[in-house]
């Protein structure tokens, strides 16, 4: 019989007939949220944002700018290929370093407004 340490520290024996999935479901039913993905730290958010931003800058310099120049020079097929490579590079960066917030409104909903200080008025 497998013995499993529960999230609260208790040791629980499960019958051999129970699969790992069934044991996991049992634990999840007794301790909701135990398998939830933890929120990333501020450091992780910052490093992922910088990495994603670096990839976007790289796509601009390596793909978009040459594409614009090629388009000006009449090489439209090459320009389209470069633009698509830039899109693919940005998509890969977004998948590898996913943003934590989808829009600015989500960020502003997390930031608590502070009261503005009252400035003295001249009388």
Q: For the chain, what are the domain ranges?
A: 1-36, 42-103
pLDDT for the residue numbered 50: 93
pLDDT in tens, 56-115: 999 999 999 999 999 999 999 999 999 999 999 999 999 999 887 776 666 666 555 555
pLDDT at residue 109, as a whole number: 60
Residue 79 exposed, middle or buried by CB count within 10 Å (0-12, 13-18, 19+):
buried
């Amino acid at each position: 019989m497998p013995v499993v340490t529960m999230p609260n520290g208790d040791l629980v024996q499960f019958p051999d007939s129970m699969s790992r999935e069934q044991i996991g479901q049992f634990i999840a039913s007794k301790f909701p949220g135990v398998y939830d993905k933890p929120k990333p730290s501020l450091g992780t958010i910052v490093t992922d944002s910088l990495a994603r931003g670096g990839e976007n800058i790289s796509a601009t310099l390596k793909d978009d700018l040459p594409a614009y120049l090629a388009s000006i020079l009449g090489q439209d097929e090459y320009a389209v290929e470069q633009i698509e490579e830039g899109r693919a590079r940005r998509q890969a960066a977004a998948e590898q370093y996913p943003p934590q917030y989808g829009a600015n409104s989500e960020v502003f909903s997390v930031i608590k407004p502070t009261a503005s200080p009252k400035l003295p008025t001249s009388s």
